[in-house]
Amino acid sequence: MEVQWFGVEPLKLGPPHSAVGITLSLLLGLWSTQALEMSVGKINYLEAVNGSTVMLPCTYASCIGIRDLYFRWQFNNNGSHQMVCESVIQSEDAVPDVSIYRERVQFVGKNVRNNVSILLWNITFEDGGEYICFGRNPKEKNRNHSASFNLIVVDELRVVDNTLTIIIASAVGGAIALIMGFMLLKNFTLFVMSKLEEKNKECLVTSSGIDNTENGLSGSKADSKATPKKK
């Protein structure tokens, strides 16, 4: 179909199904922004010493809320996913009853602030690897999402050498101090030069006044004698 006005190019309107497609795209985009999201934080790895206790963080978020949210932790053992724990959270305020399938594991999230984190006690080198936090929300037509966290178990933590950082910081600080000192010296020099210039002007004015007085010019303070009258 075309719509035409005088002096205007004809406007072509697409078929009705194109508008339906645009509407569906917008709805799908809106739906994707409301989808369930599992997060392990901005830093998704941790380096810990053998024998220590560590927490594996995970939280969930949903714009439309949850109902019977299913979540689980799994350990990726060379491609074979082993169950760590799982549970169902009935609502935002409910504390889940978590089933734990691995030794030295404790659920510490308690669903406070959408938290489903776990604690690993007395970790060993065998505990190192990828842990996956998975969630599925029936309220969003079973939309699901997962996030992974890597645990690195070491004998001892590495000491970070900050020598280069200290050298760079000292160099930058020294450069800034040098620039500030130069600016102060420049301002002081300009101040002294302005004072000397003012003094030179005063000397020139004074010298000019003295020269005028000695030469008997107008404005001088010399006494002028009147010419005697002839009898």
Residues 6+ apart with CB under 8 A from 137: 36, 62, 66, 67, 69, 70, 143, 144
Considering the domain architecture, whether residues 138 and 59 belong to the same structural domain is answered as yes
**Would the CA dihedral through 6, 9, 13, 19 be positive or negative?**
negative
Same domain? 40 vs 76: yes
Total-model pTM: 0.58
- Domain hosting residue 53, numbered range: 34-154
Q: Could you tell me if 128 and 48 lie in one domain?
A: yes
Asked if 64 and 107 sit in the same domain, the reply is: yes
Cα 228 to chain centroid distance, Å, stands at 98
Torsion of CA 198, 202, 204, 209, to 10 degrees: 160
Q: How many residues in total does the chain contain?
A: 231
Same domain, 105 and 179: no
* pLDDT tens-digit profile, the chain (231 residues): 544 444 445 545 455 555 545 444 444 444 444 589 999 999 999 999 999 999 999 999 999 999 999 999 999 998 899 999 999 999 999 999 999 999 999 999 999 889 999 999 999 999 999 999 999 999 999 999 999 999 999 998 776 666 677 778 778 888 888 888 878 888 888 888 887 777 776 666 666 655 555 555 554 444 555 555 555
CATH code (residue 45): 2.60.40.10
**Residues 6 or more apart in contact with residue 66 via CB below 8 angstroms:** 36, 60, 89, 91, 92, 137, 139
**For residues 153 and 170, what is the distance between their CA atoms, to the nearest angstrom?**
35
Number of structural domains in the chain: 2
